[in-house]
Amino acid sequence: MTGSRAGGVQYSGPIPDIYDKYLVPLIFEPYAIDLAQRAAALPITNVLELAAGTGVVTRRLAMALPGSVFIIATDLSQPMLDLAASVGTSRPVEWRQADALELPFDKASFDAVVCQFGVMFFADKARAFAEVRRVLRRGGTFIFNVWDRIEENEFAMTVTEALAGIFPDDPPRFMARVPHGYHDIAMIRRDVSSGGFSSVPEVVTLAERSLAATARIPAMAYCQGTLLRDEIEARDPAKLSMATDAAEAALLERFGTAAVDGKIQAHVVSVEC
């Protein structure tokens, strides 16, 4: 999921709470269910989660996996992990701060590694993939997902276009550049191979619907619950509210005045060690 990630990107301050309240149910929940179901279909005794954020996938793994399967959930950002731990899971898991580029685990420690919408934030993707391969046992599986291009994700695209009207000389492009910037399947396969995986990754593209009771919810989610907030405030801290209002207005214009419903789309990647 989008959240604090390896390579120095951390969510802190007010972002974790807004992220968990608005963004998690808006776009992350359906893909968390999918990843947990894929993990549950594997013959595993333990699983490592990378970039766990506020724990949306962790909670689904705790429900989907047998009680005998040990779960370790990691993230670079301690504030995100603290919030995840405070929300809790249906059974105990181990929360641990860790950088995906330097995983603090022994070689061949895990049967599976799972990562939801975190790979896009890794500063050196091939290095992160090499770390995943190192901690996976022979025959283990790495499952991760990444967002498809921003044009296939209607709320993110609408918000990005709206902010260009607020900052015409220097539009904030965080959503297109980072969360939706790692969608090329050929590039993903090259990076996985560069990380030492010899198997060809299986890639499935999944479209879902993003639903919200009001347009204010996705406006808050994107403008104030992601690192897009930092880009807005770097241009003019006083315009965060204006930017959120502009995003809400654009969403209302495109999707209507009541509940809003937009397309989201992601690639799900699975590769065996």
* 29: β partners: none
> Pairing relation of β-strands 260-272 and 94-97?
unpaired
Average pLDDT value over all residues in the chain: 95
109 token code pair: 């420690």
Residue 12's pLDDT band, with cuts at 50, 70 and 90, is low
Which domains occur in the chain, in start order? 15-272 (3.40.50.150)
- Sheet with 202-212: list strands edge to edge: 94-97, 70-75, 46-50, 110-116, 136-147, 260-272, 202-212
190 token code pair: 């090259």
State residue 258's pLDDT score: 85
**In the predicted model, what is the mean pLDDT of residues 80-91?**
96
Place of tokens 């807005």: 232
Report pLDDT digits (tens) over 27-44. 999 999 999 999 999 999
**In the predicted model, what is the mean pLDDT of residues 181-191?**
98
Look at residue 183 and tell me whether its pLDDT is greater than 70.
yes
**In the predicted model, what is the mean pLDDT of residues 131-143?**
98
117 token code pair: 């919408």
Cα→Cα distances 87→17, 82, 90, 91, 151, Å: 11, 9, 10, 12, 33
Give yes or no for a contact between 264 and 155, defined as CB atoms under 8 angstroms apart.
yes
Q: Give the predicted TM-score (pTM) of the model.
A: 0.94
Angle at 138 (CA atoms; ends 132, 144), nearest 5 degrees: 35
Place of tokens 């904030």: 172
**In the predicted model, what is the mean pLDDT of residues 93-101?**
97
Look at residue 236 and tell me whether its pLDDT is greater than 90.
yes
Position with higher pLDDT, 5 vs 216? 216
CA-CA distance, 271 to 30, in Å (whole number)?
Answer: 21
76 token code pair: 């670079």
Cα separation of the two ends of the chain: 23
Look at residue 4 and tell me whether its pLDDT is greater than 80.
no
State residue 13's pLDDT score: 79
**In the predicted model, what is the mean pLDDT of residues 152-167?**
98
Annotate 53-88 with DSSP letters as a single string. TTSHHHHHHHHHS-TTSEEEEEES-HHHHHHHHHH-
Cα→Cα distances 186→116, 126, 156, 189, 232, Å: 19, 14, 23, 5, 32
The single-letter code of the amino acid at 222 is: Y
